[in-house]
Amino acid sequence: MAMQAPISTSVPFFRYPHVFAQQRDDILAAMLRVLDRGAFILQGELTEFEVQLAEYIGARHAIGVANGTDALTIALRAVGVGAGDEVILPSHTYVASAASVHFAGAVPVLVECGPDHLIDPAAVEAAITSRTRAIMPVQLNGRTCAMDDLQRIADRHGLVIVEDAAQGLGSRYKGRQAGTFGAAAGFSFYPAKVLGCFGDGGAVTVGDEDLAARIRLLRDHGRNEAGEMVTWGLNSRLDTLQAAVLSVKLRAFDGEVERRRQIARSYRERLQDLEDLTLPPGPDGDADHFDVYQNYEIEAGRREALRAHLTVRGVGTVIQWAGSPVHQIAALGLEAKLPRTDRIFQRCFLLPMNTSLADDEVAFVTDAIREFYGR
Ligand SMILES: Cc1ncc(COP(=O)(O)O)c(C=O)c1O
Question: SS3 string of 20-69?
Answer: HHCCHHHHHHHHHHHHHHCCCCCCHHHHHHHHHHHHHHCCCEEEEECCHH
pLDDT at 67 over 90: yes
Q: Which of 118, 167, 187, 237 to mutate to test the pocket of ligand 1 (most atoms within 8 A of CB)?
A: 167
Mutate to test the pocket of ligand 1, among 14, 67, 69 (most ligand atoms within 8 A of CB): 69
The answer to whether the CB of 94 is under 6 A from ligand 1 is yes
- From 65, 89, 94, the mutation candidate for ligand 1 (largest count of ligand atoms within 8 A of CB) is 94
pLDDT tier at 1, thresholds 50, 70, 90: very low
Report residue 361's pLDDT band, with 50, 70 and 90 as the boundaries. Answer: very high
Ligand 1 atom closest to residue 67's alpha carbon, by position in its atom list: 10
What is the pLDDT confidence band of residue 5, given thresholds at 50, 70 and 90? low
pLDDT number for residue 134 = 99
Mean pLDDT for the stretch of residues 215-238: 97
- What is the C-alpha separation between 26 and 246, in angstroms, rounded? 11
Q: What is the pLDDT of residue 7?
A: 65
Widest Cα–Cα separation across the chain? 72
CB of 11 within 8 A of CB of 365?
A: yes
Report if pTM > 0.75.
yes
Q: Answer whether 69 contacts ligand 1 (Cβ < 6 A).
A: yes
* pLDDT computed for residue 8 by the predictor: 73
Residue-level pLDDT at 6? 55
Amino acid at 309: H
Could you tell me which residues come within 8 angstroms of residue 308 by beta carbon, excluding any fewer than 6 positions away?
A: none
- C-alpha–C-alpha distance, residues 343 and 299, integer Å: 10
Evaluate: CB of 167 within 6 angstroms of ligand 1: yes
63 pLDDT higher than 90 = yes
Averaged pLDDT of the chain:
97
Tell me, in angstroms, the distance from the centre of ligand 1 to residue 202's CA.
9
pLDDT of residue 214: 98
